[in-house]
Structure 1
């Protein structure tokens, strides 16, 4: 698929200025040039153009917010000065599998002041004697070369890197809050005043909840009982009235006897 068509497909009905990530791997570039990518992609932070037969970066647009650029497995042999001019905020650059042969070509990356990670794996330049030391001396701003720092410590994944950044931010917030030890007394008081363990606290909360439930249940039962008593009293009163008004007896004692039976049944 041609690069222009691939870009239109990747947009997915989004406007170019809304896109922050764009992957164009394995598409075809005409004459080894970038096509269909322009300055309207101003919010782009990640761009991948691996194995697209690129030979030149001359048509790379200005992408001031671009931080990560994947250019592996192309045919690029020079012209890297364009990167500093148009993508000044790059922190990660992958040029592995290209035709980069000498330190003079890489020297153009010195102007990428924010560059932290550079990948030149499988380029001819890696065959130079003291290759790693030479690159670290030439590009003193980078921390990782081909995935490892100068002490051969492996570079963290991007997600881990973000997590570390968050932890650093938290540490800075704590430092700004006050000098170390300022709140130690308060912490000790809190620890000393808490005689209950986590399990005991949970148990206490559970008992409190059950007691409240029991109180509410008893209250509900009392209300229902009062309503039932009131209803039955009304029933007896109504029965008395019906007996007195609807039935005539010669003997007054018989009425008292019947009323007694009604009350007894209740």
Structure 2
């Protein structure tokens, strides 16, 4: 399926400005460029274009709210300059399985000041001696490279999970509290009956 057609299906009668997450994995880009994604997607925070035949990100529109960009398993070899200008808030970038062979190809990412996580699995650049150290030196803002920090600590679970866990704990506490209240309230009528029977 062509990328433009897939995007129109994904919209499901919404306007582009309402879309916060767009996944068009495994469809086809006719000319190796981003198609169908326009500046109208102004609220877009997550964009996934995995295995769509991209050779370049040059036609990526300005997406000021974009935080996460998944473009793994494409044919991108460079031309990452557009990202800093068009997606200044990008914090996660997955370029795994692309044709990035030289460290110099990553240099434009220095301008992505919010970039915290970068994935380059199966890119030619990963075969270079001292690859990880070199990338962390080149991109000091990056905290996680291929899922690990400079000390080989894995990316922690997302904050969303932690918040859900905390919510569950609060519900359990609330539930426990209401049970205690019930146990205090239940004996009161019994006590009243006992007192009434004593007075008779």
TM-score (normalizing by structure 2): 0.84
The DSSP-based 3-state class of the residue aligned with 1:32 is coil
Unpaired stretches in structure 2, ≥5 consecutive residues: 165-175
Counterpart in the other structure of 2:186: 209
1:130 corresponding residue in structure 2? 130
CA gap 1:216/1:50 in 2 versus in 1, 3 angstroms? farther
User: Number of residues paired by the alignment?
Assistant: 184
Structure with greater proportional helix content: 1
Structure 1's 215 and 29: CA in aligned 2 closer, same or farther, altered over 3 A? same
Offset, 1:211: 2.4
Q: 1:188-207 counterparts in 2 under 5 A? A: 202=180, 206=183
Aligned partner of residue 69 in structure 2, secondary structure: strand
Within 5 Å, give how 1:218-229 maps onto structure 2.
none
In structure 1, list runs of 5 or more residues that go unmatched: 167-197, 220-266
Q: Distance in 2 between matches of 1:116 and 1:154?
A: 13
Higher CA-based Rg:
1
Aligned to 1:144: 144
Shift of 1:205: 5.8
Once the two structures are TM-superposed, the CA of residue 15 in structure 1 deviates from its matched residue by 0.7
Higher relative contact order (CA 8 A, sep 6+): 2
Residue 164 of structure 1 and its aligned partner are, at CA, apart by 6.0
Cα deviation, residue 218, structure 1: 9.4
Secondary structure of the 2:31 match is helix
Q: Where does 1:242-257 land on structure 2 (aligned, <5 Å)?
A: none
Change (3 A) 1:206 1:135: same
How far, CA to CA, are the matches of 1:9 and 1:156 in structure 2? 34
The answer as to 2:159 corresponding to 1:161 is yes
Q: CA deviation at 1:103?
A: 1.1
Aligned twin of 2:70: 70
Within-5 A mapping of 1:180-195:
none
CA distance in 1, matches of 2:21, 2:91: 15
SS in 2 for 1:140: coil
* Mapped partners of 1:13, 1:72: distance in 2: 28
1:58 Cα shift?
1.2
Describe the superposition over 1:138-178 as per-residue Cα deviations: whole angstroms up to 9, x where unpaired: 00000000000011001123xx3345689xxxxxxxxxxxx
- CA separation in 2, counterparts of 1:8 and 1:216? 70
1:28 and 2:24 matched: no
The structure-2 alpha-carbon separation of the partners of 1:165 and 1:88, relative to structure 1 and needing over 3 Å to count, comes to farther
* Structure 1 ranges of 4+ moved more than 6 A: 216-219
Instruction: Quote the RMSD (CA, aligned, Å).
Output: 2.6
Tell me, in whole angstroms, the C-alpha distance in 1 between the residues paired with 2:129 and 2:184: 74
